[in-house]
Structure 1
Amino acid sequence: MLCRTQVVGEDGGLAKMTTLPDSITIRTGARLHFGLLDCKPPFGGLGLMIDSPATEVEAVSDKSFAIDSSIESAGLAARTKAIASRAAKHFRCGEADEVRLPPIKLKLKCQPPKHSGFGSGTQYSLAIAEACCRAIAFETVPEETMVIDIAGRARRSAVGAHGYLAGGLIYETNDDCSPRLNPIAKRIDLPRQWRVLLVRPRKAKPAVAGADEQRRFDQLRHDRKRTEMLIRLVEDEVMPAAARQDFHGFSEAIERYNRESGLLFASIQGGPYNGTAVNGAIDRLKQLGAVGVGQSSWGPTVFAWCEDRSRADSLASSLSGSDWVTLVTTAKAGGRTLTTPGQ
């Protein structure tokens, strides 16, 4: 059962008594990806955690391991069981070849649309991995272990993984000497009054994911000059503008970075943006005077930066109709939140 007493030391050894709760709820935001530095390993890139659309999972004490119908209907049962199994193996739950899954029931309370530029797979996988780890031991496993070995994420971009743990605007290095999990080169919290308008075309190209995504990457070639230019753009313009809270400098630099990074993939997506629907959304936003406009990951979600809520709401109302789904959100300042009964 989740609610039990364990002895856990600061280094994971036996030292002090801790009581595990009856349930754990983990809530995390979504990830916008402004673009990779390179189309070949170790990639590197720039992205941002936003407050919504959120992912929230719950682990409740049970007699044995179980998955709620909300996870089954989302098509995530197999992934969830695999993550729980890896967590159990990490903590050596079971004898010899037997793996004893944690005695919890997992439930998915909310999640962004899949394959829409929100990094929903990474956020869900990490939330489930942490829920399982804490259900077993209520201790934090090393970041790299949880991300790579248990959740099975960040094998291409680590922005969403770092964002899950820390939030903020994240610049991920592409240093060839990096460990398995690319480290954060720099992280900045953006002003809370700034808003991000998200626009998702209702009709867009099929999602880019899985084997199709890998096939596209296999067709690409390293562009050293563009990568060097993208690094200079991040280090000399994007991050300094963010640090001094210069909205116009930041939004202009983000739009330019996003477009230039998109050109790394021009041969497989037909230009800096992926498809007619995404291009149409970007063109429409620019016609309305939006700034800091771009495509998150492969799309189809498009973003635009706004100085305040009023401007964001005004832009959103101009896009009302059957062609678009809009959402106004904010940059997420911290990592995921973990709630237990009584909190």
Structure 2
Amino acid sequence: MNAVISPQRLVSVKTHGRLHLGFFDLSGQAERRFGSVGVAIDAYHTALTVSAQPQQTAVDPWASAILQQHLKSLGLNTALDLNIQQAIPRHSGLGSGTQMALAVGAGVNTLLDHPVNSAQIAAAHQRGARSGIGIATFDHGGLVVDGGRGSNTIVPPLLARHAFPEAWHFLLIVDQSHDGLHGSGEKNAFKQLPPLGTAATRDIQHRLLMQGLPALIEQDFQAFTGFVGALQNYNADYFAPAQGGPYASQSVARILQAFHQQGYRGLGQTSWGPTGFVLMPSKNEAMLHQAALSQQYAQHTHLSFIVTAAVNDPARIE
């Protein structure tokens, strides 16, 4: 079916990257699986426009395939112009796939006067198979907790959302020399990795409810970073066999180990990496470390260091 839309109409969408701080049920023992914690960040964006014209300029084949898949899910055969101004780097643990699918889907639906339902868009693109935090940050921003997957789950439900303290900043350690595990490799890893024990799983769930979330709301930096470190250790124990250790990048691992020796606890790897992060109490402290690392690793062109705040706002659709 073809849709009739004014050629003058244009929709713009801007959404943010996210850090996947970790799953809190990797035991495989409960009726629900996974459950995850994440936060939207302002360092990376996906920004695009959609208009009712034939394609004007060349577009990335990956993004073009997402557009065609979305039109197919709506039962439409309509020529649209997709223009991507900025895209979150792929396979870096920053949520690029989910954000592109949601941005394209929301742009098309808005252009066609269809409801923008992020869960339905994500399901149409097979996003949210394990984690729903990218969907939740698209809708709300901030720090989010999803409830994992049950037998009838379409996308993991949002359990909690809280604004992230504006003063706290992340220092990202980006390794551009290789990709994090993705696609069939990721699926096979989840099939083959042995589950974690129920005692460790119950402990991290208790920490989430009685340490992580209360500390975030009360802006208790030490308690919150202690929880993040514990959550990261829990996930590293599970994923290490599939990625050759607790972190996908040995360069990132060495830098994070040095921060740990300095007393930082809220550090780790987002999703399958290779991007690492360290949570710091202020932008100034993060920038001081950024400057020092940039000088120390000036000859390592595959490494970069980025200071970013959290984003407490949803994606923008205009």
Tell me which structure has the larger Cα radius of gyration. 1
Q: How far apart are the structure 2 equivalents of 1:170 and 1:42?
A: 17
Among 33, 40, 47, the residue aligned to 1:56:
47
Amino acid at match of 1:145: Q
Residue 296 (structure 1) aligns with? 270
Q: How far apart are the structure 2 equivalents of 1:239 and 1:233?
A: 9
Among 305, 309, 316, the residue aligned to 1:326:
305
Counterpart check, 1:242 vs 2:216 = yes
Residue 93 (structure 2) aligns with? 117
Q: How far apart are the structure 1 equivalents of 2:5 and 2:289?
A: 47
- Any stretches of 5+ residues in structure 1 without a counterpart? 5-20, 90-98
Q: Secondary structure at the match of 1:148?
A: helix
Checking the alignment, whether the CA contact within 8 Å between 2:118 and 2:135 is kept in structure 1 is no
How far the C-alpha of 1:177 sits from its partner, in A, is: 6.2
Aligned length: 305
How far the C-alpha of 1:260 sits from its partner, in A, is: 1.4
How far the C-alpha of 1:269 sits from its partner, in A, is: 2.5
Counterpart check, 1:145 vs 2:136 = no
- Any stretches of 5+ residues in structure 2 without a counterpart? none
Q: Deviations over 1:90-110 (max 9, x none)?
A: xxxxxxxxx422x43011111
Residue 283 (structure 1) aligns with? 257
Amino acid at match of 1:212: G
Scaled by the length of structure 2, what TM-score is found? 0.88
Q: Deviations over 1:79-124 (max 9, x none)?
A: 33112221x32xxxxxxxxx422x4301111112111010111001
How is 1:158-177 mapped onto 2 (pairs within 5 angstroms)?
158-174=132-148, 176=150
Q: How far apart are the structure 1 equivalents of 2:57 and 2:35?
A: 36
Decide whether aligned partners of structure 1 residues 70 and 284 sit closer, same or farther in structure 2, where only a CA change above 3 A counts: farther
Scaled by the length of structure 1, what TM-score is found? 0.82
Among 186, 191, 196, the residue aligned to 1:213:
186
Counterpart check, 1:335 vs 2:295 = no
Counterpart check, 1:81 vs 2:60 = no
Q: How far apart are the structure 2 equivalents of 1:187 and 1:56?
A: 24
Amino acid at match of 2:217: A
Q: How far apart are the structure 2 equivalents of 1:34 and 1:218?
A: 21
How far the C-alpha of 1:30 sits from its partner, in A, is: 0.4
Residue 14 (structure 1) aligns with? none
How far the C-alpha of 1:203 sits from its partner, in A, is: 3.5
Q: Deviations over 1:254-311 (max 9, x none)?
A: 1221121221223223343234233123123335554411110111111111212111
Among 20, 24, 33, the residue aligned to 1:42:
33
Checking the alignment, whether the CA contact within 8 Å between 1:288 and 1:315 is kept in structure 2 is no
Among 162, 174, 184, the residue aligned to 1:200:
174
Checking the alignment, whether the CA contact within 8 Å between 1:117 and 1:298 is kept in structure 2 is yes
Q: Deviations over 1:209-264 (max 9, x none)?
A: 10111111111223233322221121111111001111121112112211212212
Q: How far apart are the structure 2 equivalents of 1:48 and 1:234?
A: 14
